[in-house]
Amino acid sequence: MTTIVVVRKNGQIAIAADSQTTFGDDQRLPAAYDVFHDKIFRLGDSYLAIAGSAAHDLVLQGALKGMKSRDLSSRSGLFETFRKIHPKLKDHFFLRPEEDEEDPYESSQMMVLVANSHGIFGVYPMREVYEFSRFWAIGSGRKFAMGAMHALYDSALDARAIAEAAVRAGAEFDASSALPMSLYTVSIDKDSDK
């Protein structure tokens, strides 16, 4: 349960996340009590954030850092990277890949947003990979965040300010999201700018 957003605008990319961890429906861990409340981690020149079980954070970091080669710079590169780590998630980190019996593929049980100088991307549980042209959000506060980004995107605000407003909206209205937030920005690679 979280609010995580990515925004791409005018040569700048921002990724932001709230800081609350929620256990079930009745307990929360505010940032003031959590030494590691930043939900965004850096890997090389990329920033990643995960929605789903809190266990995914260390698992994904460990799996990605242990790879000899990984590519987080494109839709196809992310697909291949997540395809390669899926068996590792099962064999070394004991992932339970079952969701719905009718699903066409095993699930990674996580949604990941990626921001780097090449763009903003989303990786979904069955390794579906999307590249977003403007903005996106994941987590329980995503609807509030998406509304805020939609309302503000064509304004004079930059990517950083839009991402900040979106996480604030999630934290204001979603019971499983709270401030403070973490926010990082990168410049878009001129070859990747559309």
Which tens digits make up the pLDDT trace of 4-25?
999 999 999 999 999 999 888 8
- If you average pLDDT over residues 77-86, what whole number do you get? 96
Which tens digits make up the pLDDT trace of 138-177?
999 999 999 999 999 999 999 999 999 999 999 999 999 9
- If you average pLDDT over residues 180-193, what whole number do you get? 88
pLDDT, position 193: 59
Residue 193 within any structural domain of the chain: no
Residue 194 within any structural domain of the chain: no
Work out the mean pLDDT of the chain and round it to a whole number. 94
Asked if pLDDT for residue 187 goes beyond 90, the answer is yes
Work out the pLDDT band at 105, boundaries 50, 70, 90: confident
Residue 23 within any structural domain of the chain: yes
pLDDT, position 157: 98
Backbone angles phi, psi at 22, to 5 degrees: -120, 135
Sign of the CA dihedral running 177, 182, 183, 189: negative
How far is 81 from 131, CA to CA, in rounded Å? 15
Which tens digits make up the pLDDT trace of 49-73?
999 888 899 999 999 998 999 999 9
- Do 7 and 169 meet the contact criterion of CB atoms below 8 Å apart? no
Residue 47 within any structural domain of the chain: yes
Residue 192 within any structural domain of the chain: no
Residue 126 within any structural domain of the chain: yes
Asked if pLDDT for residue 194 goes beyond 60, the answer is no
pLDDT, position 100: 81
User: Which residue range forms the structural domain that includes residue 14?
Assistant: 4-187
Amino acid symbol at 160 = R
How far is 41 from 30, CA to CA, in rounded Å? 18
Residue 107 within any structural domain of the chain: yes
Total structural domains within the chain: 1
Is the pTM here over 0.85, yes or no? yes
Residue 130 is part of a domain; what is its CATH number?
3.60.20.10
